[in-house]
Amino acid sequence: MTYHLIGQAAMVVHFLFLAFMAVGGFLAWRRPRLIWAHLAVAAWGVLSVVTGVECPLTVVEDWGRRNAGEQGLPPSGFIDHYIEGVIYPEEHTGLARVAVAALVIISWAGFLRLRARAGSPPPVTRE
């Protein structure tokens, strides 16, 4: 039972991590300190896509499921198992990655614009 819960918790945290990767920059508009966490999450996302490094959450979920006597994740990993072919067709993986990257860039641009506005003096009005 405990191993099953570990596997389930890792899966939920993984989905939350991916959601934060996509929209965390927008959350930083209201909570500016979140930008640092979002930068780290986005950097991990780029690293994992570029190098193919396995996510520790995938390892934990697989370990929990196998120790619970369940079938573990396939060798292709979390994204291939839960997202590709389920949320979007596998042939659109590149498009999905570009869409997430666009969300991140737009959120960062908006964040920088809001920060610049907050740091600038109020406009001078002449009457």
pLDDT 10s digits, 60-87? 999 999 999 998 888 888 888 888 888 8
Q: What's residue 123's pLDDT?
A: 63
Calpha distance 70→67 (Å, rounded):
7
Name which of 45, 17, 55, 29 is nearest 101 in CA terms.
Answer: 45
| Model confidence band, residue 122 (pLDDT cutoffs 50, 70, 90) | low
| Within a domain: 93 | yes
CA triple 96-11-64, angle to 5 deg? 140
Name which of 59, 17, 10 is nearest 42 in CA terms.
Answer: 17
| Within a domain: 125 | no
Q: What are phi and psi of 33, to 5 degrees?
A: -65, -20
| Within a domain: 127 | no
pTM equals 0.84
Neighbouring C-alpha atoms within 13 Å toward the C-beta of 76: 8
**Count: domains in the chain:** 1
Containing structural domain, residue 59? 2-119
| Within a domain: 126 | no
